[in-house]
Chains A and B, each alone.
Chain A
Amino acid sequence: MLNKLKLVIILCFISIINIYANKRANEIMQSMWYSNNLAFSVTETPEKWENESAIIIAKYHRLEYKKIALSNELLHNDYFHQRIKLNDKNAINKYAELSFPTGRIGHDVYVGFKVIKPNGKEFIVDNNDAVEIKAESGNNKKGYMKLAIPKLEVGDILDYYICDELTLVLGEDTRYCISHSFSPVQYCLHQEYPIIEQQIELKAQRRCSIALRSTNGAPEFKLKVNEETGDNYYSLVDKNRDKLDGIRWFYPYRALPTIKFKVDYVSKKYSKKKWNVLLGKPGIAKSSILEDELITFIKSPVYSVLNVSIPRKYVKENIGKKGSDIDKAKWGYYSWRHYRHEKEEVKLISNYKMGSFYLDNDVSERYYLDFMHCFLKVIKVPHEIVVAADRDIADVDEIILDDEMRYFIRLKDGDKYFYLTAGNKYSFPGQLPPEVVNTKAYIINPADWSIKKEFLNTDRDFLNTENTNLSLAISDDLKTCKIHNTSSIDGNQRHAYQKELIDYYDRMADEEAYFHIYRNFKGALYSDLKKLNSLKASYLDNKETYVNNNLKDLVVNMYDFSIDTVNSFICHQTGIYDDKPEFKFSYNMQTEDLIHKVGRNYILDVGKLIQGQVKIEKEELNRKQDIYMYSSRKYNYTIKVDLPDGYTVQGLDKLNINVENDQGGFMSTASIESGQIVINTSKFYNQYFSKAETWDNYIDFLNAAYKFTEQKLLIKKL
């Protein structure tokens, strides 16, 4: 009897849930498909876009955030509605199979798909035809739904919505549900297809703060009131946007109308914490950061427990009071870097499988800022705090989110500045990340908490320089080229090579000159030692193979000729200290694809030795958009070719090239010196940003470098 009663209660409960779900689904369908939004009744598209693959007639995106009163739940609703005209098979293929999230407890998903034929007839796709793709592991279940859209033909309009209503549980105990940050959103109003009209609405209620900003000429969000509910929300309407083309060296967020926003929930109790100063009042949009707010934010350490004893002790013991402030800061940096990475050995030999205790402990920039500021304050070294923004994301005047901020510390070094940045295991002090060089930044002086804006410059023309020396010997049968490569890589570009080619043991070989190195797995239990030593021996046995394989992968992708063997890698300098900043290494490679017999003579594809070069395609020649570069950079090559006995060379004259302008350059010289062909090339990019009008300058030197790669030398029998 009791069981029957339970069953009845459960069935009633399920019925009630189903009734509610159906009612809600119907409400959402009404609001999406049967609202007064005229943009979604359009069927005609502008003639100017008739050759486009598809045209977004209308797009509506509403995001809602709300804390439930007296509960530990946070609601996040995401309503997406799009009406798109499909003009070719490419678009049909793209929209014939759609996917959306699987609903589950606490995550309701409502979808609707309908097709409008050119004659105006509409039909609604049966959502029950959707199939679920799922994967399970223990209690973790993941999945998504797939739906094939029927009857889709060129010229049809697809009108669909995908709406998520998500309930986030902040924690079991409401007293500790202090905050939650939703992922920041930034997107360009230009999309893959042209858009007739798009609307974005944001609503944040009950302890939810919203930061939002329109940039680069995007329409502003306007505060509106929902007449039915009386709720405030922010709305943006945008019309007539051309499609976004994929363009080389282009930052859409900096050049095209863009919006960004982020919502944060903070409990009332914690809302008054100073580090929340960047958040606006709940429900009211905040679109800028005042200088005072920034100072308050920086002044209030996000990480309150900071133990700076390691760098302080090292500096005290090794630098002493008489050392310069730069040396104190620098060696504080190095000692902390060493501390953060000294236990990496186990991670390396066990390949991340030994548990989180050994995981890499690189830190966030904010933690780094709080830590280094605290350390420098403790050892009484004057310094400034730099708050910047990556050049591809925003100008520092436009930042509204803590996610956009980069944090550094700098010290006065004569008339220059010495920068300290968080970095990685290969970073050293004194270098600025290229993504902020030449950008405007806030400079905050913690001595008096004054603030100013300044451009960040370095004293070096090129932060990234690669120097490569190639010695090429042609075999006696003139079929094979043996090439000895010596490379020296400076700046940010070296990290990609260091990551693949040097390991913990290489770094510690350098570190032991300055720091005590824990060896023999000190601290591990006796029972573990045998295992750890076995892993280490196995790793070291295979290290040479690992490195040469990594090197071959790198090299094969660099050169436009087939490479048969790569070996004999030697690391000459790790490039992890500021007094020896270049990563230097050498190796040998061998190829049969560089010299070819032509008649009784030979052609040497000498141009291919400077690696593959940027090829500007014909359709790229006319450019209307400004040019954005990641960094300035320079690539130098010195190539020496031993001329085989009994042969001379023709074609050197074509290797003397000199194209240089404000944007960059490519220069090469070729000569015969002591029986050797000697070729020097240099290619460089000067600018971080250039106006579109200068594009021809880029084409000039890029074409020159590309043309060089096609140059050949005639190795002619005497």
Chain B
Amino acid sequence: MPKSVLTALVLLVLSVCVCGVSFSQGRTVNRDKSDKFKRIYDKSSYVASQSESEFEFVISKGLLTVHQRDKIDYITLKSNVDLYFNKFYNDNIDLIDGSFKYTCGKKKFYRKVFGNYEISNVFYSDAKLAQYSTNLLLEGTEVTFRSHSEYTDPKYLTKVFFQDDSPIEARTISFVIPNNVDVELLEMNFDNYKISKKTEAVSNGKKYTYTCHKLKKLKTDPNSLGFLYYAPHFVVVTKSYQLSDSKKIVIRNVDDLYKWYHSLTEQVIVEERDLELKVRELISSVESDEEQIKAIYYWVQENIKYIAFEDGLAGFIPDEPQNVFAKRYGDCKGMAILTKHMLKVAGFDARLTWVGTNKIPYNYNTPSLAVDNHMICTLNHNGKFYVLDATEKYMALGNNAERIQGKEMLIEDGDKYIRRIVDVNNAISNLIERTETIKIIDDKLIGEGKVSYEGEAKKDILYISTNSKVDDQTALFNYLSVSNYANNDDVIVNNLPEVNRDVTLEVDYTYSLNNKVTNFDGQLFISCDWRNYIGDAIIETDRESDFYFGRKVYNVVNKTIELPNNYKVEYLPEAISATIDDITIQINFKVENNHIIYSNHILVPHGIVKKEYFQPWNQTIKKINEFYNDQIILSKN
């Protein structure tokens, strides 16, 4: 074969390879537009120049469904961008179509992968994900994603968000609602956004169009209660629709919501006989009501493993209690219904109860499936409602998990219901207190200490220690005593704390540490608090939400350091005393009778640093770090 022909063939092969990504730059690329957006969205690889979602309510064959149609125009701001669009669906949302095209209308190669969407802590659910992806080689490439899905039951359309995975230059959400459909659109977190609304008549109904510009990418700030607290969105409440001959109720109010929930729980076939033997065994050796309740509640906590199935209606209907008991696993609903019926067998008045965790900012004034995400059991005993959440392993009776404190419960009461608020504990219920007495001998820190835990920390430590291998349990309690020590240091834990929810968890320890005292020409430089508590809590000031510690914080450290013979205090770090909103911080040293008394008290009563206090908070944390880095100086008399 002549060389020139061979060369031509090679070039042909090369062109085929390269052309696989389709080169026709003229129509698919708009650099002027991308240059403009790059100045605005300088950290993004791509931006949605226009994002439109339409929700059309349609009555067909006597059923109300909602069609969602999305059209999103993207433009890349960098070269070689992998663009993904995730579309979720499940048994109540049919995914009808989805595709990428160049915005100019030309075909664009894309991949589609669909399958189960695995949710953390959920063993199996009907949640499915279709992921559409395409590679955009050149900066300024414009593509459009279109999708069409259908909510086959309108009560599952609960929330609609303005923001998405990329910044959006112009966002439009419209609802097309026939006159005979009663829908309420609750506007959430609209205050900080300029959102315009337009209402227009369409055939047999109205179209409501909301528009907003220059939206940031939707993200959940770390250490936050979640974006429901700050992201602009709708809660869609579909109340009812009128057919020619009848009115169909969806969910108009909390009565309807409870009615539906209750109808589902009524479907559960309960065989309390299967539980009787175990209940009798548990309560036979205890007399008081409280001890009996504890015996049952704690047994469920410890013996029913959390394994969640959220498959269609199974996401709302509890498993049969006898099944949960037999299988020894269940989700929150399974644990709640088992707790309820074991208590009923023991003669108590226990109820199933719906509640939303603190990730959800709504209460039952909003009649929507979006209000709650959790089921517990409540016990009405001697006029007091006890909250029993068996998913909270090692939670003592009478204490409530931080995540549901202050949240409204919907408690079953036959055909009716009771609305109550979960009691809110104060910060002292989460007290972590450390007390040490310290001597300095041969440039070593010799200490005896005790640390005690209550509330959320106690619950977590008990769970971790009882679910760890033996070797790891030892390492855990050593860590709780002294967080970081070298192999030539000695740390001894004097007690293995008992697994008892009802008493304070205490760890007693002694230590001898080599690296906490530095001797510079006879002067001793001592650091006595190496845990640097909240020292790393500098808050990014550009975040959207309040900073949440995950629990109320009350941390107390008291250490007494005995001055070595012939030494006097040369220098003590300057005390810190700060009050920021409801937060108080007191860290100081003082000298009393040949002893240095160190005190570190930090109280964040709601576990939250509000956004408006980020600046003083960060200034204080900076000072606290300076304090921790500072040292006591002792010099010879």
In the complex, which residues of chain B have a beta carbon less than 8 angstroms from the beta carbon of A231?
none
Q: Say if the beta carbon of A717 comes within 8 Å of chain B.
A: no
Q: Say if the beta carbon of B5 comes within 8 Å of chain A.
A: no
In the complex, which residues of chain B have a beta carbon less than 8 angstroms from the beta carbon of A142?
115
When the two chains form their complex, are residues B633 and A131 in contact, meaning their CB atoms are under 8 A apart? Answer: no
Q: Say if the beta carbon of A353 comes within 8 Å of chain B.
A: yes
Q: Say if the beta carbon of A217 comes within 8 Å of chain B.
A: no
In the complex, which residues of chain B have a beta carbon less than 8 angstroms from the beta carbon of A153?
303, 328
Encoded as 1 (CB less than 8 Å from any A CB) or 0, chain B from 591 to 627 comes to 0000000000000000000000000000000000010
Question: Chain A: which residue is nearest B478 at the CB level?
Answer: A618
Encoded as 1 (CB less than 8 Å from any B CB) or 0, chain A from 65 to 103 comes to 000000000000000000000001110110011000000
Encoded as 1 (CB less than 8 Å from any A CB) or 0, chain B from 111 to 141 comes to 1111110100001100000000001011100
Q: Say if the beta carbon of A17 comes within 8 Å of chain B.
A: no
When the two chains form their complex, are residues A650 and B470 in contact, meaning their CB atoms are under 8 A apart? Answer: no
When the two chains form their complex, are residues A621 and B487 in contact, meaning their CB atoms are under 8 A apart? Answer: yes
A131-B124 CB under 8 A given contacts A355-B18, A523-B14, A525-B14: yes
When the two chains form their complex, are residues A596 and B468 in contact, meaning their CB atoms are under 8 A apart? Answer: no
Q: Say if the beta carbon of A507 comes within 8 Å of chain B.
A: no
In the complex, which residues of chain A have a beta carbon less than 8 angstroms from the beta carbon of B13?
357
In the complex, which residues of chain B have a beta carbon less than 8 angstroms from the beta carbon of A531?
23, 25, 137-138
Q: Say if the beta carbon of A520 comes within 8 Å of chain B.
A: no
Interface-side segment among B145-153, B161-169, B414-422, B518-526: B518-526
**Residue picked from A146, A353, A617, A707, most chain B C-beta under 10 Å:** A353
Q: How far is the CA of A617 from the CA of B485 in the complex (A)?
A: 9
Interface-side segment among A332-340, A387-395, A422-430, A532-540: A532-540
When the two chains form their complex, are residues A137 and B79 in contact, meaning their CB atoms are under 8 A apart? Answer: no
Mostly helix, strand, loop or mixed at chain A's interface? mixed
Q: How far is the CA of A152 from the CA of B20 in the complex (A)?
A: 54
When the two chains form their complex, are residues B326 and A151 in contact, meaning their CB atoms are under 8 A apart? Answer: yes
Q: How far is the CA of A151 from the CA of B278 in the complex (A)?
A: 14
In the complex, which residues of chain A have a beta carbon less than 8 angstroms from the beta carbon of B20?
355
Q: Say if the beta carbon of B78 comes within 8 Å of chain A.
A: yes
When the two chains form their complex, are residues A93 and B25 in contact, meaning their CB atoms are under 8 A apart? Answer: no
When the two chains form their complex, are residues B80 and A530 in contact, meaning their CB atoms are under 8 A apart? Answer: no
| A90 in complex: contacting residue of B18, B309, B469, CB < 8 Å | B469
Q: How far is the CA of A23 from the CA of B429 in the complex (A)?
A: 61
Encoded as 1 (CB less than 8 Å from any B CB) or 0, chain A from 611 to 643 comes to 000011110110000000000000000000000
When the two chains form their complex, are residues A150 and B138 in contact, meaning their CB atoms are under 8 A apart? Answer: no
In the complex, which residues of chain A have a beta carbon less than 8 angstroms from the beta carbon of B184?
none
Q: Say if the beta carbon of A134 comes within 8 Å of chain B.
A: yes
When the two chains form their complex, are residues B329 and A150 in contact, meaning their CB atoms are under 8 A apart? Answer: yes
When the two chains form their complex, are residues B633 and A599 in contact, meaning their CB atoms are under 8 A apart? Answer: yes
Q: Say if the beta carbon of B466 comes within 8 Å of chain A.
A: yes
Q: How far is the CA of A646 from the CA of B279 in the complex (A)?
A: 78
In the complex, which residues of chain B have a beta carbon less than 8 angstroms from the beta carbon of A459?
none
In the complex, which residues of chain B have a beta carbon less than 8 angstroms from the beta carbon of A620?
487
Question: Chain B: which residue is nearest A621 at the CB level?
Answer: B487
| A148 in complex: contacting residue of B17, B115, B307, CB < 8 Å | B307
Q: How far is the CA of A153 from the CA of B329 in the complex (A)?
A: 11
Q: Say if the beta carbon of B571 comes within 8 Å of chain A.
A: yes
When the two chains form their complex, are residues B327 and A542 in contact, meaning their CB atoms are under 8 A apart? Answer: no
When the two chains form their complex, are residues B487 and A714 in contact, meaning their CB atoms are under 8 A apart? Answer: no
| B329 in complex: contacting residue of A96, A143, A351, A617, CB < 8 Å | A96
Q: Say if the beta carbon of B305 comes within 8 Å of chain A.
A: yes
Question: Chain A: which residue is nearest B572 at the CB level?
Answer: A599
In the complex, which residues of chain A have a beta carbon less than 8 angstroms from the beta carbon of B11?
523, 525
When the two chains form their complex, are residues A651 and B116 in contact, meaning their CB atoms are under 8 A apart? Answer: no
A96-B305 CB under 8 A given contacts A150-B329, A525-B14, A615-B486: yes
In the complex, which residues of chain A have a beta carbon less than 8 angstroms from the beta carbon of B629?
596-598, 603
| A539 in complex: contacting residue of B79, B113, B489, B626, CB < 8 Å | B79
Q: For residues 48 through 100 of chain B, which have their beta carbon under 8 Å from a beta carbon of chain A?
A: 78-80
Encoded as 1 (CB less than 8 Å from any A CB) or 0, chain B from 8 to 24 comes to 00110111011111010
In the complex, which residues of chain A have a beta carbon less than 8 angstroms from the beta carbon of B10?
523
Q: Say if the beta carbon of B204 comes within 8 Å of chain A.
A: no
Encoded as 1 (CB less than 8 Å from any A CB) or 0, chain B from 472 to 510 comes to 100000000000011111000000000000000000000
Whole-angstrom distance from the CB of B533 to the nearest CB of chain A?
A: 17
When the two chains form their complex, are residues B630 and A597 in contact, meaning their CB atoms are under 8 A apart? Answer: yes
In the complex, which residues of chain A have a beta carbon less than 8 angstroms from the beta carbon of B486?
615, 703, 706-707, 710
Q: Number of residues in A with C-beta < 8 Å to the partner?
A: 66
Q: Say if the beta carbon of B515 comes within 8 Å of chain A.
A: yes
In the complex, which residues of chain B have a beta carbon less than 8 angstroms from the beta carbon of A143?
115
Whole-angstrom distance from the CB of B312 to the nearest CB of chain A?
A: 12
**Residue picked from B114, B118, B488, most chain A C-beta under 10 Å:** B488
Whole-angstrom distance from the CB of B229 to the nearest CB of chain A?
A: 30
In the complex, which residues of chain A have a beta carbon less than 8 angstroms from the beta carbon of B112?
137
A603-B15 CB under 8 A given contacts A151-B328, A152-B305, A531-B137: no
Question: Chain B: which residue is nearest A123 at the CB level?
Answer: B326
Q: Say if the beta carbon of B467 comes within 8 Å of chain A.
A: yes
When the two chains form their complex, are residues B115 and A136 in contact, meaning their CB atoms are under 8 A apart? Answer: yes
When the two chains form their complex, are residues A714 and B138 in contact, meaning their CB atoms are under 8 A apart? Answer: no
| A354 in complex: contacting residue of B17, B139, B470, CB < 8 Å | B17
When the two chains form their complex, are residues B137 and A353 in contact, meaning their CB atoms are under 8 A apart? Answer: yes
When the two chains form their complex, are residues B327 and A353 in contact, meaning their CB atoms are under 8 A apart? Answer: no
Q: How far is the CA of A699 from the CA of B486 in the complex (A)?
A: 12
Q: For residues 267 through 297 of chain A, which have their beta carbon under 8 Å from a beta carbon of chain B?
A: none
| B113 in complex: contacting residue of A135, A527, A706, CB < 8 Å | A135
Q: Say if the beta carbon of A51 comes within 8 Å of chain B.
A: yes
A596-B80 CB under 8 A given contacts A150-B328, A621-B487: no
Q: How far is the CA of A662 from the CA of B327 in the complex (A)?
A: 59
**Residue picked from A51, A90, A153, most chain B C-beta under 10 Å:** A90
| B327 in complex: contacting residue of A53, A135, A150, A603, CB < 8 Å | A150
When the two chains form their complex, are residues A357 and B21 in contact, meaning their CB atoms are under 8 A apart? Answer: no
In the complex, which residues of chain B have a beta carbon less than 8 angstroms from the beta carbon of A524?
14, 18
When the two chains form their complex, are residues B124 and A527 in contact, meaning their CB atoms are under 8 A apart? Answer: no
In the complex, which residues of chain A have a beta carbon less than 8 angstroms from the beta carbon of B305?
92-93, 96, 152
In the complex, which residues of chain B have a beta carbon less than 8 angstroms from the beta carbon of A330?
none
Whole-angstrom distance from the CB of A462 to the nearest CB of chain B?
A: 27
Whole-angstrom distance from the CB of B79 to the nearest CB of chain A?
A: 4
Q: Say if the beta carbon of A485 comes within 8 Å of chain B.
A: no
Q: Say if the beta carbon of A712 comes within 8 Å of chain B.
A: yes
Q: How far is the CA of A351 from the CA of B309 in the complex (A)?
A: 41
Q: How far is the CA of A524 from the CA of B79 in the complex (A)?
A: 19
Q: Say if the beta carbon of B570 comes within 8 Å of chain A.
A: yes
In the complex, which residues of chain A have a beta carbon less than 8 angstroms from the beta carbon of B326?
150-151
In the complex, which residues of chain B have a beta carbon less than 8 angstroms from the beta carbon of A597?
626, 629-630
Q: How far is the CA of A487 from the CA of B155 in the complex (A)?
A: 63
In the complex, which residues of chain B have a beta carbon less than 8 angstroms from the beta carbon of A90?
467-469, 472
In the complex, which residues of chain A have a beta carbon less than 8 angstroms from the beta carbon of B329?
96, 148, 150
When the two chains form their complex, are residues A135 and B307 in contact, meaning their CB atoms are under 8 A apart? Answer: no
Q: For residues 556 through 571 of chain A, which have their beta carbon under 8 Å from a beta carbon of chain B?
A: none
Encoded as 1 (CB less than 8 Å from any A CB) or 0, chain B from 575 to 596 comes to 0000000000000000000000
Q: How far is the CA of A618 from the CA of B303 in the complex (A)?
A: 35
When the two chains form their complex, are residues A355 and B17 in contact, meaning their CB atoms are under 8 A apart? Answer: yes
Q: How far is the CA of A535 from the CA of B15 in the complex (A)?
A: 17
Q: How far is the CA of A79 from the CA of B135 in the complex (A)?
A: 42
> Can you show 23 pairs from A to B with CB atoms below 8 A apart?
A88-B469, A133-B115, A133-B118, A135-B114, A135-B115, A137-B111, A142-B115, A143-B115, A151-B328, A152-B305, A153-B328, A354-B21, A355-B20, A357-B14, A357-B18, A525-B14, A534-B79, A535-B137, A596-B629, A598-B571, A651-B518, A703-B486, A712-B518
> Interface on A for B, CB 8 Å cutoff?
51, 53, 88-90, 92-93, 96-97, 131-137, 142-143, 146, 148, 150-153, 349-351, 353-358, 523-525, 527-528, 530-531, 534-535, 538-539, 542, 596-600, 603, 615-618, 620-621, 650-651, 699, 703, 706-707, 710, 712, 714
Nearest 10 pairs between A and B by C-beta?
A135-B115, A150-B327, A596-B629, A599-B571, A538-B79, A357-B17, A131-B124, A137-B113, A53-B469, A650-B520
If A523-B11, A599-B571, A651-B520 are given as contacts, then 4 extra A-B residue pairs at C-beta distance below 8 Å, sorted by A number, are A148-B123, A525-B14, A528-B18, A596-B626
